[in-house]
Amino acid sequence: MKPDRRPTMALERPTPEIVRRIADSFGFTLTAEALAEFCDLIDEGLANYEIVDAAWAARAPQAAVRPWTWPSPGENRLGAWAARANITESDEGPLAGRRVVIKNNVAVAGLPMANGSKTLEGYIADEDATVVRRILAAGGTIVGTSVCEDLCLSGGSHTSASGPVRNPWSTEHSSGGSSSGSAVLVSTGEADMAIGGDQGGSIRMPACWSGIVGLKATYGLVPYTGAFPIELTHDHLGPMALTVADVALLLSVIAGADGLDPRQAGLPAARDYTAGIEDGVSGLRVGLLREGFGQPTSEAEVDDAVRAAADVLAAAGAKVVDVSIPEHRDVGMALWSVIVTDGAVWQMIHGNGYGRNYRGRYSPSVMRAYANGRREHFADVSPSVQYAALLGQYMIERFAGTHYAKAQNLSPVLRTAYDRAFGEVDLLCMPTIPMRATRLPAPDAPVTERVRRAIDMLTNTAPFDTSGHPAISVPAGVVDGLPVGMMLVGRQFDEPTVLRAARAFEASVGGFLQAPGQR
């Protein structure tokens, strides 16, 4: 007789009816005799799951006890704070004395992590994300978490379960998403720096519409460990701040392999990204991407402002030329849309956020809390989440996920097209978002309007999540009282050149304007 290795806490055994239903769902029928045998085999097999349960229980992280508070209405008039805190672990380091806010899809142990959604309502993070640990070790003070869009599936700022995040330049307008709260709290001076996340532009778009600096680094450079994923091949975390120097400083702290994130491979050696940012742009070749201008959603005033910003770079010594990459407009958005839609449904819904089949750090507590919350609250999530779920599930059921496979196979075509252009220029330049900030839709606006306001600004940012190239948004000016952004894109892992050009522009215009009445 085999020894009974089963821990005291036994898992619930499936009834024969459950086993039969599962067999039916796979398309095979069990005789009564086979059903009984399979039930016995499953009973034996579950002992291994119980051993894993016991081993994990002995090692599972225990949430730190950290004081935090909900923001009062008076201190949250723009809806940007998720939770307030004051966490410092060191008085020394490059971030000493700097106030950092963390997007609410990134775990800060002991604080609520709602990911902008009712599906994670009440969840308390049980361990710090890698970027949080690094910020604290570098002397930074985490002053709280920032509201993000519902499951981060929106480029607008109207989908969070806690309500809209209002633009500090005009409270009737969107602040951009999905790192909406991070951008607003930096813009208003309530935080010096922020962590944002970017799967389709969610660092750069709110940076653009809120008038700050935001960098999506090369795919994998910043570890995603401890952040709620959307699509493993498109997940990015990155720095947001008022100045290019602060973005470079925060990147220096958070970048580099952590040994836990499967997104990280072939990384360069750790470096100080503030070094060289004052070297100017003399001799740099900047390509104005023809397909990034004059899009169906473009506003002429935005195109003109970004071309004028490029002229500033030219006056500072850069050589500015026109370049054409047809793939940017022909397939860029389509590839991103298929990969993120099907991938998010598979990973976020079927995989309860984390999915499977990769080596890395998972969060069982998030997976369980989200699975329970999704079953209870999916009717309450934003229409943009529901739209992605309906479309992605249909394509998975009807076409077996083959369009996802095709899009992933085609993504090197897009990447190669950009790389080919980088044989002629050092940077690509275009509007971050082709239009000014749109008005926040009413809560009872038609579904179509609320979905379109979540996705109609992605056309320039999203393709670079698919290709993985580093891209920064810097304020290019103000048009009719609303900020517009210039995006500079560089070669893979060439963040130094991207930051150097962004800083040269910032210096040439005498620094970036702040939202009126905010500081």
Residues belonging to the active site? 103, 178, 202
237: left (phi over 0), alpha (psi -120 to 50) or beta: beta
Distance CA 198, CA 243 (A): 19
CA proximity to 419, closest of 411, 408, 409, 431: 411
- CB-CB contact of 436 with 299 (8 Å): yes
Token couple for 371: 């699975």
Can you list the alpha helix ranges (DSSP code H) found in 422-477?
447-455, 463-467
Give me the phi and psi of 96, to 5 degrees please: -55, 130
DSSP notation for 339-367: HHHHHHIIIIIITTTT-SSS-S---HHHH
User: Is there a contact between 492 and 469 (Cβ–Cβ < 8 Å)?
Assistant: yes
Give yes or no for a contact between 182 and 144, defined as CB atoms under 8 angstroms apart. no
* Tokens matching residue 445: 């606006």
418 CB neighbour count, 10 Å cutoff: 23
Which amino acid is it at 475? Answer: P
CA distance 378 to 367: 15
